[in-house]
Amino acid sequence: MEQFVAVIVLTTALFFITIIILRLCRSHHTCKYKLPPGPHPWPVIGNLNLIGPLSHHSIHELSQRYGPLMSLRFGSTPVVVGSSVDMARFFLKEKDLAFIDRPRTAAGRYTTYNYCDMVWAPYGTYWHQGRKLWQVELLNSRRLASLEHVRREELCGMLKDLHDVHGTDVVLREHLYMLNVNVISRMVLGKKYVLEDDRITGGSATTSPEEFRWMVDKIFFLNGVLNIGDMIPWLGWLDLQGYVKRMKRIAKMFDRFLEHVLVEHAQRRRREGEAFVAKDMVDVLLELADDPNLVVPIKRDGIKGYTLELIGGATDTSAVTIEWAMSELLRNPEVLAKATEELDRVIGRERLVTEGDILNLPYLQAIVKETMRLHPVTPLLAPRLSRLDVSIGGYDIPAGTLVFVNVWAIGRDPKVWESPKEFRPERFVGSSVDVKGQDYELLPFGSGRRMCPGIGLGLKMVQLTLANLLHAFVWRLPDGMVAEELSMEEKFGLSVSRMILLKAVAEPKLPAHLYGGP
């Protein structure tokens, strides 16, 4: 028995020694490249020991020492980080095609139906086709305009809910979350599937708003983690952090929900026959799946992958951005006063704000931009993977390198922004700088071919919701709390939200009939 144990120990030790030697040999192979400056990596783990719970903070601190183009190593994976306007322009515009691919991660495999979405889909025919379908069929300006009534009705419903509890402390994100769930459910799925009575309508599938929120939160968290199995593939089978197990669990929960949705939609198509007319985005996807002219057929997993991305992306990010904006406004009462003055002057006190009013509210637009500068929902843009060997400034970036752009760091760069840590919407009043991917000092939605395809819907939701929250209510912090005590700590995930949910008190200030709901 003792000899057997000794053999096992010796074999295990030899295995790990062999792996380390192989990794070292591979690192020596990269010596033919002149890599950007960066900290010396440890065997096996690389520089993972330097990355804290808020990775964009850790990477920013390292870039302060090593520069705006920095080389790291996450396990056996070479990494390059760009933390300046010039580096963002280089990666996302000048060499966009060289850095357009995505790494094959466990999150992409297990939570997006084996890379059947847009975020994690590898560069190729499927991604090209999907990008075109999203732009032309799913999120085009005509379709968004035709569904404006949905956004307006659900917004009125949220304002009514806030009116009904006025004068009490409210957890704002809960209301924002349900607003976005209801809007996206009606736009994408055709009706509200997550209801306040804790049931999904029809069938045997059930969930509650709390469970659905938990599912969305977890899928965003798991898509943003540094999974050891991705960075050190030969350790992947161990699932040391338990992330893969959690990914599989969440995937099963969402799959049950999505199967229920698709079955209902298929039943309606059969029931209506030739009279069938697409009413929502799932209907459109099902019709596209039947199109024989598609270069790559959209299978059932593809429909689910796209649908899940539409639901998750639009539900979480808009709510998080609005919560950050309200937090900054409550910490800066002079900015809040200017915003409400503009709304009173332009809109008046006899109606709510409409989407058509936003162009006439430059200070409100400036508040949104300033929020996205200080609190980009995705501070490290989703990682890219270099397809080719590329050189810049005398340094080499080999093919197969993971590339991050730290837009959080760019938003705090004193070379770009005056007093970058202060919340000053005035910096955008009269400025041509926008969030649409052409100004590399402000990239909350990314840029280039991999830019977020939901930017149009995201901006509409954030601007319209924030405008009506400020126009319909007088806001203050709970009794006994002063602005200086409001925590602005961040919670890690693919989207970075507040660690502590914002609580505030809303007092109605418009005529009572405007809060009547849909």
Instruction: With residue 403 as reference, give the H or E element that holds it.
Output: strand 402-405
Main-chain dihedrals φ then ψ at residue 441, nearest 5 degrees? -85, -10
Gyration radius (Cα) of the chain, Å: 24
Q: Write the DSSP symbol of residue 80.
A: E
Asked if residue 452 belongs to a known ligand binding site, the reply is yes
The beta strand positions in 24-85, using DSSP E, are: 69-74, 77-82
* Residue 196, φ and ψ in degrees, nearest 5: -65, -15
CA-wise closest residue to 75 among 50, 112, 108: 50
Exposure pattern of 265-294 as b/e (b: 16+ CB <10 Å)? Answer: beeeeeeeeeeeebebbbbbbbebeeeeee
* Token code pair at residue 396: 């080499």
CA distance 172 to 158: 11
293 vs 139, 269, 477, CA distance in Å? 21, 21, 56
Strand partners, 392: 395
Residue 144, phi then psi, degrees to nearest 5:
-60, -40
Residue 417 DSSP symbol? S
CA dihedral 252, 258, 260, 266 (to 10 degrees): -140
How many residues in the chain?
518
Looking at residue 41, the DSSP 8-state letter turns out to be P
Q: What is the Cα–Cα distance from 150 to 154, expressed in whole angstroms? A: 6
Q: Decide: helix, strand or coil at residue 516.
A: coil
Q: Cβ distance 509 to 474 under 8 Å?
A: yes
Cα–Cα dist 49/38, whole Å: 14
Give Cβ neighbours of residue 79 (< 8 Å, ≥ 6 apart): 47, 71, 72, 73, 401, 402, 403, 404
Q: Which two tokens stand for residue 353?
A: 């704000």
Cβ(65)–Cβ(73) below 8 Å:
no
Binding residue positions for heme: 452
Binding residue positions: 452
